[in-house]
């Protein structure tokens, strides 16, 4: 079996007063699994934030301490498996939440970046 892996660095910008943003993501093969790695942020808020996305059914893709001096290059890896190979292509929503899953609205612009590793088996699925 041939395994195909595609890495994407995804940049998110949350505007002041908005707990959601969007990003375009396209992968040229069916995806069985996604690994989310190395979430970092640029923020001056001193609390944790959770980022969730409709890319994976509004599940968590990462948790960051929002103070930039502590959260850069976190060593977390969050793994998500699809029950059927999935086509990744389009615009996806990302939501910023508190640890208790309530929306958090930034008071200033906040930037987040992470690496997503899209893994597929290289087979044609119907």
Encoding tokens for residue 84? 């059927």
Q: Indicate whether this model's pTM tops 0.85.
A: yes
Report the CATH number that the domain containing residue 51 is assigned in CATH: 2.60.120.230
Q: Dihedral, CA atoms, 39, 3, 85, 61, nearest 10 degrees?
A: -10
- pLDDT for the residue 123: 66
Per-block mean pLDDT, blocks of 10 residues, the chain (126 long): 90 93 95 91 80 95 74 74 94 94 86 93 63
Judge whether 126 lies within some domain: no
Query: In terms of residue numbers, what domain contains 37?
Result: 4-120
Q: Could you give the number of structural domains in the chain? A: 1
Q: What is the DSSP string of 82-116?
A: EEEEE--EEEEEEEEE-TTS-B---SS-EEEEEEE
């Amino acid at each position: 079996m041939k395994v195909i892996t595609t890495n994407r660095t995804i940049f998110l910008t949350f505007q002041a007063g908005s707990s959601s943003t969007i990003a375009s993501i396209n992968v040229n093969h069916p995806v069985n699994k996604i690994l989310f790695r190395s979430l970092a942020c640029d923020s001056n808020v001193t609390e944790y934030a959770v980022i969730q996305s409709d890319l994976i059914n509004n599940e968590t893709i990462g948790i960051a301490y929002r103070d930039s001096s502590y959260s850069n290059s976190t060593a977390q890896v969050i793994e998500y498996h699809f029950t059927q190979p999935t086509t990744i292509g389009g615009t996806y929503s990302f939501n910023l939440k508190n640890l208790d899953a309530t929306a958090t609205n930034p008071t200033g612009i906040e930037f987040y970046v992470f690496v997503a590793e899209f893994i597929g088996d290289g087979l044609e699925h119907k």
